[in-house]
Structures are given as C-alpha cells and as structure tokens.
Amino acid sequence: MTDGSHESHGQVPSRQRRRFPGISSRAYEHPADRSALVALRKLSGFDTVFKALSGLLPERSLRLLFLSDSVRVSDAQFTHLNDMLRDACYILDLEKVPPMYVSQNPQPNAMCIGLDEPIIVVTTGLVELLDEEEMRAVVGHEVGHALSGHAVYRTILLFLTNLALKVAWIPLGNVAIMAIVTALREWFRKSELSADRAGLLVGQDLRASMRGLMKIAGGNHLHEMNVDAFLAQADEYEKAGDLRDSVLKIMNVLPRSHPFTTVRAAELKKWSETRDYQRIMDGHYPRRDEDKDTSVTDAFKESASHYADSVRSSKDPLMKLVGDIAGGAGDLGGKLRDKFTGAAGGAKGPGAGGGDATDGSQQSRREGPEGPAASPAGS
C-alpha cells in the first residue's frame, strides 16, 4: 500500500460490506481507552464534578446553537453525508441515528457530543478535504464514539476546558479543574484510537482510512504523499532520541485532545492485521446483550496485559527503561544518568546491552554513586 494518488471509487457506493448486528463497543475499543476511563473515574472529585455538570450543562442551548447556526444533514441537505450516516448506523447497528450538522469552519474537524443523546458535528474544512470513502471512515469514527458512549465525557471536557480559561485568574481555582481536564484529555486521546477502529469497521477500506489521516496531517496533496513513508514517520517518532526526547513527547501531547496523526495511522494499521480484527470481520465479536455479564476485572486485566505488551515491544527509550525496571535490570541509576546526559555507554553501555548485566569492573565502579544517581527515577 504505497499509493498516494486518488483511486477510482466508481464501484465503492455499491460494494458489499459486512454488517455487525448487535455489536458491542467492546469489540473495537482499544484497551488503553478502557483503562484510561477507569483511571478517570477513580480521580478524586470526578464523580462529584460529573454529577454536578450533568445537571448544569446547557445541552438544550448547545442543540439550539447548532440548529440555528449550522446546516443539519438530512434528505434535503448534504444528502451524501446523510446516506453515509445512516449507512454507518446500519453497519454498527446503532438503533437511533443521531442528528448531524455541518458547521462553517476551515479547520478540518469532527466531534460527537451530547449528554442525553449524541449529536455529530463536522466542519466544512473536513467535508471539503476528504473524498467519499475517506469521509465514510470519519462518519463511522463518530458513530463509534456514539455507540461507545463517549459523547458525555467529550461534552464535559469541552465545558471544563472553557471553564478553566475563565477561572484561570483565581488563585488555585484552576488547579482542580485542570487536573480533571488533563485526565479527560488522556482518556479522550485513547478513545480516538477506539473510534478509528470503528471507522475502519464501517468503511472496511484501510487505504481510505490511511489517506484520510494523511490528509488531516498534510492537506489535500495526496500526489505528494506516500502511506509507507507516512507510517515510517510513526516508527521513527516512537524510537527516536533518548529519554530527553521521551519527556518532550509527553510534554507535546499533554495539551492535545487527539493523538498524533502518524501514531493513529500506525495503531490502526497494526490492529487491522490482528486476529481480533479478522474475527470481527468473520462475524465473531462481543454483543451488546452480553455487556451486562462482562467482568470489570477481566477488562482491567486485558488493559494491564496490553500495557505490559506495549512496554515490552515499544522502541521508545523511556518505555525500554520502564521495561528494564519492571524486569529488575541492575544499574538503573547509571542508565538514567547516561540516557539523560547522552553519555556514550561504550560497547557494554545501555545502548549496546539493552538492559543486560554489565561486567564486574563496571558494576563495582558504579556501586558507590548508585543511590544518589537513581533519584531521577522517582522524580
């Protein structure tokens, strides 16, 4: 899959695609999405804020705003989007088709919000940027948010983000709000990975999903872009640099509501090649009528297992160090010092040894300062 050019979609609207009757959102939800949501709900003060905001958020006002100042998708307006919306709800077996609006904004974006019932909003910038099949994946992405119940938390995130700006001048008034906003953003970034999977289940065209993500990153210049090269960027990003770069990655992503586009593309392609995805396409998937019997403990174990596998397979320097710590590797103080200072470890240093035991002379030389040097691990 190396093409970057537009392909003929003459047969696309009528092509056969699988439908998933009664599918549960558990079928496509990313383990990190579920574990981040569990962590969010355990955050001190979140339940209180959630209950209070559920009764205070001006949802009727929000709906009236889009009704009065956006174009509602229907059989009479943006009919091609209306067909895609109904099609996505049919594929994922969403019982009630949510209202959808097109809002004038050159920034390509889409969102699913609402407390009682979800509503989907797409911007004109996105509609103008994507072709039919790329847009189908986006619509499926938003319907996936609706099926997963993400709209409620997304709405609260929008409200709290605006509130944080208004109370920023109050001493300490912003601290509690920003703690919840940060946790919500962390969850929402993970939820985007789940929704990308839902978009693929609806569109059932990995190339279209990849093209859409490339366009969001680089604009409508597909003839200048290449899927393989785009995915190579994600690989380079993951393994680039030392621990200092890992810290910078964390700092860069914290203010964002979405994961980086190359990362999303790589995650989606990886999932499309798994047995889990193939089983869904073969009709074997969790169903909604089984949700009530689902074990929370099992879900947590699955998420923990996913994180453990991610740490083991990650090429990121920080994740490698976490793996060393979890594996009981020795001389962590020396590793931290060398990683952060960029010191060359020699043939048997961290770069060459990958966390393995060093020779006796190296060990004895570092025994003295090991305690003080190890302090950054806990800071």
Provide the annotated active-site residues. Answer: 142
CB of 327 closer than 8 Å to CB of 355: yes
Q: Rounded to an integer, what distance in angstroms lies between the CA atom of residue 189 and that of residue 137?
A: 18
| Nearest Cα to Cα of residue 57 among 148, 151, 159, 134 | 159
SS3 for the chain, per residue?
CCCCCCCCCCCCCCCCCCCCCCECHHHCCCHHHHHHHHHHHHCCCHHHHHHHHHHHCCHHHHHHHHHHHCEECCCCCCHHHHHHHHHHHHHCCCCCCCCEEEECCCCCCEEEECCCCCEEEEEHHHHHHCCHHHHHHHHHHHHHHHHHCCHHHHHHHHHHHHHHHHCCCCCCCCHHHHHHHHHHHHHHHHHHHHHHHHHHHHHCCHHHHHHHHHHHHHCCCHHHCCHHHHHHHHHHHHHCCCHHHHHHHHHHHCCCCCCCHHHHHHHHHHHHCCHHHHHHHCCCCCEHHHHHHCCHHHHHHHHHHHHHHHHHHCCCHHHHHHHHHHCCCCCHHHHHHHHHHCCCCCCCCHHHHCCCCCCHHHHHHHHCCHHHHCHHHHC
Give the pair of three-digit tokens for residue 203: 């569109």
Q: Rounded to an integer, what distance in angstroms lies between the CA atom of residue 323 and that of residue 202?
A: 36
